[in-house]
Structure 1
Amino acid sequence: PELLDAEPGLAGWPLVKGVLLPLSRSALMQSGVIVFALAFNNIAVPAILQVNIFPAKFWVEFSSTYNFKLAWQYGWVLALLPLAVLLIFRGREIAWPWESQGVRPEILADRLGGAFHRTAVSLACCAVVVSLLLPLGHLLLDGRTWSGFPDAIRAGSRSIWNSFWFASLAALLVAWVGALTSDRKGCRLAWLLFFLPGVLLGVVLISVFNRPWLGWFYGGSGVVMAALGLRYFALGWEGMRLVKRSVDADLQNVTDLSGVSGWQRWRHLFLPQAGWAMAAVWYVVYLLCLWDTETVVLIVPPGGETLALRVFNLLHYGHHSQVNALCLILLLLAVLPLFAGAVVSFLVKRRSQ
């Protein structure tokens, strides 16, 4: 805001070139590297579209041979990009949007000019239409979705339950451990596991836990929880670290001097001020665990198939009606916590009145 006030005549392309691009260059580079790393490590979309990429080929080769020697021989290539991402971000602090008030939208739109503003709005609308409205409209308007909905629920009831409780419990564990370790800077290395391809993490877990005396863990849901927890722990740690930083520092000092217990500290300090922020951290991890396929595709136990894996497998055989219905159920599971949160918020407000 101060830069705009200092140069009231700066508008349009000169404003973008002289102010906005230099200020956002670091954030653009960081976001570009993150998106590239995640897209490079994704196997679900290329495998469904039958595009031959290295991570998908690595998954196919290992799942058909279980050759660990070959996996370690080529796995270092998949680990190279996450290491490069960590080196690029080493010592750099990521600026989050809530740390500054920024410029009011109407002021920025006025200074950019009508052409830039209309172009930005058009691009944003196109992105929303292509990525959200078209797929959602296809699901809702296709008659095969509703005709196959009852059969999909009956056939996939166990997968529905597995998806919900795997995602919710893994997100709870990630948020809880992230809160306990939010003061430890060494946990920043956990970002390596987030950027690591999920199939490579699965190979590592197979080599570690596939032991006769660990059959109770490897053959059950424990290994799935471990995989999801390790993969998304960095998000829980970073989120809880930012939540703690958002709490009033003076109140934190008072609780430190008062010697209150850890539970009382969370109940009377963090929950009133940042309860919804902690819930948001849980929800983000919940969504990622709910939609995850590549992390658990190699280690899922018998009877532990999730909805995402079921959709991934059925797409190869052309069961479009069941796939549409299962995708709709997956979306309903995604919005279920939002609905529950809205109900809880309504009841709390009504009780306070």
Structure 2
Amino acid sequence: MVRGAGLVAIAALVGLLSWSGDPLMLPLAMLFPALWASARSRIFAGIASAAYFLAASRGLPQGVANFYGSDLWAGLLLWLIASFAFVAVHTVLWTKRPGWQRAARFGTAAVLMAVPPFGIIGWAHPLTAAGVLFPGWGWAGLAGAVAGLLVMTTRWWPAAALACGGFWLSSAAFWTAPSLPDGLRGLDLERGQSLGRDGALEQQRDLIAKVMRVAGQGAGIVVLPESALGFWTPSLERLWRDALASTSVTVIAGAAVVDPCGYDNVLVEISGHEALILYRERMPVPVAMWQPWQSMMGQGGGAKAHFLTSPVVELAGRRAAPLICYEQLLVWPVLQAMLYRPDAIIAVGNGWWTAGTSIVAIQNAGTIAWARLFGVPLVTAFNR
């Protein structure tokens, strides 16, 4: 019992520290499979999994309370519900049999949590640490991280931990942030929950002025956060195109496109010559935005999930991989995009509801790690 309690406490500590928002702390998550494998029973494997996941996602209760303007109880309930898939998968697949059978079981759990349907809430995936351990290695680095995770479940886990520790120290000693894509600049905002909800003309003109200031510093393409433009309408399109007509500046900005069945969370590309929908979000936030039960009940509403939409877009003669907010917490949206060998990652978010939490920092840490793994330049734009 004491050993089990210690295991759970260590799992919680690993979840807390590895998902602190500092990219260099992510490799601590590589210890999770060793903790999972060292459980003496299925029950303690499940409890340890819950401790790791709940500690890693600890900002969710406060974030939900902020989003809905409610007390913490609703957030706590959603927090527990969100952990169910991670805990269930790792509990069911745990086995007493040591060696490669246990490694295969953990590998299956890791794959299930990386791809839909379980991967829809596959937060805190240890595989994200690959970008810190093997920066620039690409798919070979991903394979190395997978091998490390599997060996961590065997009796050779101390050797795997030492090897990972060596790569970690080497990476930390020469760590650099991802480079910025040439000509692209992100514009962070501090508009709180008013961003995209205040349709006043003055607000749009203020955004245009900010864009022009950034463009004046040499940026040909300026990226604005998720939801920056609110509802995308013909009149809004005309306003922005007129403002950009005498310039060579292109704006990439978040907006919502509404139809009778719901809405799309999108990025639009605007210049003085044209405006088009550049990207439709593949995975909106479950419950808060994506509500598939609505369509099952014959009702409209909620954001649409475009799972099969191309994850890479053409932008000024290069391929870019957009990631909108929630997609940055998951594994499959990034890996799906990397299959197309993008030239840059564009990560945007509207994190006003994360006030008092480390959620945005965790999103940034994960995106930075993936960008470093594949050696891809990264531009970000967030609202707080």
What TM-score, normalized to structure 2? Answer: 0.24
The structure number with the bigger radius of gyration is 1
Q: Larger helix proportion, structure 1 or 2?
A: 1
Q: Larger strand proportion, structure 1 or 2?
A: 2
- Tell me which of the two structures has the higher relative contact order, counting C-alpha pairs closer than 8 angstroms and 6 or more residues apart: 1
